[in-house]
Chain A
Amino acid sequence: MDLTAPSERDEGAEVTTTPSKAVPRPTPETQPFWDGCAAGELRLQRCSSCDAHYFPPRPFCPTCLSDQVTWETASGRGTLHTYVINHRAAPGFEAPYAIAVVQLDEGPRMMSNIVGIENTPENLELDMALEVTFEPRGDMMLPVFQPASTGGGQ
């Protein structure tokens, strides 16, 4: 899969529309996740038979294929698993900024951004404690992460 937009490969291509950050579009399977975000909660699915959380959302457990799965509100806590610092801004972004993978305390990992701290290699130590917060994106709320308030950050 090649994700490079044509405009990135033609240096100097003109931008004719006001850039805005990409907005996720829910599907029926993911709608409860986004409803949670709108309510200020990070929600994950958990398989009853495996007793394990998973992500991204789907109506069955990716380990055992059971549909005995429930939505639960996650702790919102995690750690910084890995990241890059992007120097070529996406529409609406101001480079440089980190694209991170967060290890959630419940087990799954998810991509996110790190807010509330300048995104430098010095500031962003792997395995630092993070907590979820939500940022408006179009008419949606998007989960992003900040240094954990109890983790001695700031």
Chain B
Amino acid sequence: MSIRGRIAIIGAAETTELGRIPHLSAIGLHADAARNAIADAGIAKSDIDGIACAGQSPVAVAQYLGITPSYVDGTSVGGCSFMLHVRHAAAAIDAGMCEMVLVTHGESGKSRVGMAGFGGGGDGSLQGQFEVPYGPTGPPTMFPIGVLRYMKELGLTHEQLASVAVVQREWAAQNPRAMMRDLVTVDDVLSSRMVAYPMHLLECCLVTDGGGAVIVTSAERARAMDLPNPPVYLMGTGESSETPMVSQMEDFTTSKAFRVAGAKAFAEAGISHADVDHLMIYDAFAHLPIYGLEDLGFVGRGEAGAFIAEGNTKPGGSLPLNTNGGGLSYTHTGMYGMFAIQESVRQVRGTAAAQVPNVKISIAHGVGGMFAASGTLVLTNQEL
């Protein structure tokens, strides 16, 4: 039993604005994105009977939108939560638990309007006892902690790491909604301010306000509807988790959660890597596309740095990657996974700002926390 081809995303939209949105609270961003997605799908709010979100409580978002759900998913495992929401919604819809699920995201990451307090569990949590006392100041000082190990074991150079940011800026330059659009060189990246050696400022994601939402229903129902936009079918899905403490990763050169989620998604989709036309890998930091390319099996171990530096993922390359500009150049609210899904949907619809020709299959791969969790979606415009 599989949801392959049986589920469709029929609506997808981001918040009207991105970047700095001080006039909207976090829950207001959820709602703005939700209203845009409902309009994008051409449905009535009353068609929605399921709600899923992270950051805010799904209870709060449902009430704010005036939705009485019969399916509620508050899975909150960080920035890939939305991949998991889509996956769980697919299972619930296929099991007849509900018919149409609204997945929302909104964060006032920059302006901090109406944001809940930060997690981590306090000073009595395991992170509080065994990581926080050593002086981390946010994800830039924790998430890349394995990069030097990766460099030593697999030969990645500082220049190759910097090239991730350079290539993604090439994509962002084609995207009017991207926050950073001026082209940069490897030297620009390496001469930008050091945030946490070996990571420079331009190898770290943006901090922005914004949101997005998708609407998920059965492929059967999607076919029966008069949709303004073609449905995007779910081909395969995967999810996993590894550790809430980055210091306890099994291997600092590879993500177990990436490998498990990716393999599940490929197996369910029944595709090979050569079938993938377009790829999104959540890039909170420049090393993530490198880990993602290898852990999803697109290249061999230790090959991803050269693969990117040689131009394979840039505009016109063989494997277009992070074509909205990514978290490094497009937008990053804190939990970026929703934006990876949005760009995958646009690419298979053929409506992206930097559209790749003839995209039939796109993968949106997300990370949660700092290699804590992972979710993978394989999307297609083909009926299966």
Binding site for B on A (CB under 8 A): 1-6, 8-10, 21-27, 30, 34, 55-56, 81-90, 93, 96-97, 99-101, 109-113, 121, 126-127, 137, 142, 144
Contact = CB atoms under 8 A, between A and B. Distances in A.
Given A82-B148, A109-B247, A109-B248, A5 B129 contact: no
Contact of B141 (A6, A56, A99): A99
Contacts of A93: 135
Contacts of B129: 24-27, 30, 34, 56
Counting from the closest, the 5 A-B pairs by CB-CB distance are: A82-B149, A85-B197, A4-B138, A111-B247, A24-B129
Contacts, number: 155
Nearest to B369: A1
B372 interface: yes
A101 B371 CA distance: 15
Given A96-B197, A99-B141, A99-B145, A89 B135 contact: yes
Contact of B137 (A30, A85, A86, A109): A86
Given A3-B142, A30-B129, A87 B244 contact: no
Contacts of B130: 24, 55-56, 110-111
Interface stretch (B43-51, B112-120, B340-348): B112-120
The interface size bin for chain B is 35 or more
B197 A90 contact: no
A113 B198 contact: no
Nearest to A102: B247
A105 to B, nearest CB: 17
B370 interface: yes
What's the dominant secondary structure at chain A's contact region? Answer: loop
Contacts of A101: 145-146, 247, 252
Contact of A99 (B112, B135, B368): B135
Given A22-B133, A109-B247, 19 more contacts: A3-B118, A4-B207, A5-B118, A34-B129, A83-B145, A84-B196, A84-B199, A87-B196, A90-B135, A93-B135, A99-B134, A99-B145, A100-B134, A101-B252, A109-B248, A111-B130, A121-B197, A121-B198, A126-B152
B334 interface: yes
B21 to A, nearest CB: 14
